[in-house]
C-alpha cells in the first residue's frame, strides 16, 4: 500500500478569504515504511500574509518572491500523490486549500478524486477523547521527538506526522492487523471474541517466566496503541 504524509503552510486560516498555499511537504510510505522519496516546494502566493501567519512559518514575501507559483508545480505535485492514501492532520484544512489552488486551474479536479484521505486528527480524537490533539501534543504523548520544530514547516511537519501516524497505528501492525491486510476493527474484535471462547482455546501450559514475558508484551502494546484487545479479554475472563 502506498501512502503519502502531507502538510501545507498557508498565508492565513481560510482559503475562502483568498489565502494561498506557500509550502507543500510530502513524505512517501510503502507498506508503512518510508521510501526516502519526498516532495517539497515553496510557493509564491502573490498576496500578503494575514496577521500572525507569517510568524508561525517564519516565511516572508521577500523570501517567496522568486519561488514558483502553484500552477508551475501542479503537475509534479499531482504526479507524486496520485493514487496514494494521503495521511493529513486536520485534513479538511489542507484539502480545502489544495482544492482551492486546483480550482484556479482547468481540468485538474479535486484531491479526493485522486486520493483516499486518512485524517490523523480524527484518529487521535477517537483514541484520546477530550485531550489536546495538536501535532505537538501528539508528539509529546507518543514519544516523538519534535525538538527541532521551532517554526511550522511543511516537510518537517510531514516527517513528524509520519512518526505520529506510525505510533498511532503501531499496535495494529505489531499484532498482525495492519491496515494493508484489509481487516476492520469489527473483524479484529470478532477474531478476538472467537479466541476468547474457552471451547476454542488451545490448551498450552506456560511457566512463570513465559507468563511474565507475555504480560510485559501486552502491557507494551497497551502503552503504545492505547488499547490491547488481548489484555481486555484476559482481564474480563
- Grid cell, residue 151, equals 517554526
C-alpha span between 68 and 70 (Å, rounded): 7
The label of the residue with cell 499484532 reads 175
> Which residues does 36 contact at the CB level (< 8 Å), separation at least 6?
28
152 is catalytic: yes
Q: Catalytic: which of 20, 89, 127, 152?
A: 152
- Grid cell, residue 91, equals 485534513
Active site residues: 152
Amino acid at each position: 500500500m502506498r501512502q503519502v504524509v502531507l502538510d501545507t503552510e498557508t498565508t492565513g486560516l481560510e482559503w475562502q478569504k483568498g489565502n494561498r498555499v506557500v509550502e507543500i511537504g510530502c513524505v512517501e510510505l510503502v507498506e508503512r515504511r518510508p521510501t526516502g522519496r519526498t516532495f517539497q516546494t515553496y510557493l509564491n502566493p502573490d498576496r500578503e500574509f494575514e496577521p500572525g501567519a507569517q510568524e508561525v512559518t517564519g516565511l516572508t514575501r521577500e523570501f517567496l518572491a522568486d519561488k514558483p507559483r502553484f500552477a508551475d508545480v501542479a503537475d509534479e505535485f499531482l504526479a507524486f500523490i496520485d493514487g496514494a492514501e494521503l495521511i493529513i492532520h486536520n485534513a479538511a484544512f489542507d484539502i480545502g486549500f489544495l482544492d482551492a489552488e486546483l480550482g484556479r486551474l482547468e481540468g485538474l479536479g479535486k484531491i479526493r478524486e485522486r486520493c483516499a484521505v486518512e485524517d490523523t486528527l480524527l484518529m487521535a480524537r477517537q483514541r484520546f477523547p477530550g485531550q489536546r490533539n495538536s501535532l505537538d501534543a501528539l508528539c509529546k504523548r507518543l514519544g516523538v521527538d519534535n525538538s527541532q520544530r521551532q517554526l511550522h514547516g511543511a516537510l518537517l511537519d510531514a516527517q513528524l506526522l509520519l512518526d505520529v501516524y506510525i505510533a498511532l497505528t503501531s499496535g495494529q501492525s505489531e499484532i498482525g492487523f495492519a491496515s494493508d491486510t484489509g481487516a476492520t476493527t469489527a473483524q479484529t474484535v470478532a477474531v478476538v471474541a472467537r479466541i476468547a471462547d474457552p471451547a476454542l482455546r488451545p490448551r498450552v501450559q506456560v511457566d512463570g517466566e513465559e507468563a511474565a514475558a507475555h504480560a510485559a508484551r501486552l502491557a507494551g502494546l497497551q502503552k503504545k496503541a492505547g488499547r490491547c484487545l488481548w489484555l481486555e479479554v484476559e482481564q474480563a475472563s
